[in-house]
């Protein structure tokens, strides 16, 4: 290797290291920024299993103030108790709780351990807190209107 090739290689390595550091800082800062804002809760529905060159994932829909959004969760994710989320883990017709920061409606966290009864309508306005009838697992007193 001549001096010019060594310099180019060194510059390339420095550039790659800087890009990695910047991406880590941005990711960390994003979490810090979002954690300062309150979160809201709504219902995720209309699940679809998809595969791509990057792996498999579940695509789902949720509604905030009448506007529909879509998001996805990796099928390689796991629940808080360590249970792996696989293609057969849940029924695609079920509804689950979804959480998002108020400033980033697209940055969702799907709570598969908190299943919402099918009879529960999707709320027009999101909830400020997890409804008690969802968090305590009791589905006898579910609301029938938003």
pLDDT tens per residue across span 11-25 = 999 999 999 988 887
Q: Is the pLDDT of residue 121 over 90?
A: no
Report the number of secondary-structure helices (H) and strands (E) in the chain: 2, 5
Nearest to 112 by CA among 138, 75, 142: 75
Assess whether pLDDT exceeds 60 at residue 136.
no
Q: What is the pLDDT of residues 23-81, one digit of tens each?
A: 887 766 666 666 677 888 998 887 777 777 777 777 888 888 889 988 887 766 655 55
* Rounded Cα gap, residues 68 and 119, in angstroms: 19
Mean pLDDT of 103-130: 83
């Amino acid at each position: 290797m001549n001096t010019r090739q060594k310099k180019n290689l060194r510059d390339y390595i420095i550039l790659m290291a800087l890009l990695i550091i910047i991406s880590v800082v941005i990711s960390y800062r994003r979490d810090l920024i979002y954690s300062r804002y309150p979160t809201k809760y709504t219902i995720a529905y209309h699940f679809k299993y998809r595969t791509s060159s990057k792996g498999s994932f579940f695509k789902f829909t949720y509604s905030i103030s009448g506007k529909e959004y879509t998001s996805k969760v990796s099928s390689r994710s796991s629940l808080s108790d360590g249970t792996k989320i696989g293609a057969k883990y849940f029924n695609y017709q079920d509804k689950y709780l979804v959480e998002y920061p108020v400033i980033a409606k697209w940055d969702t966290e799907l709570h598969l351990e908190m299943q919402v009864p099918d009879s529960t309508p999707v709320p027009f306005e999101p909830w400020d807190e997890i409804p008690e009838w969802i968090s305590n697992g009791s589905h006898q007193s579910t609301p029938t209107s938003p």
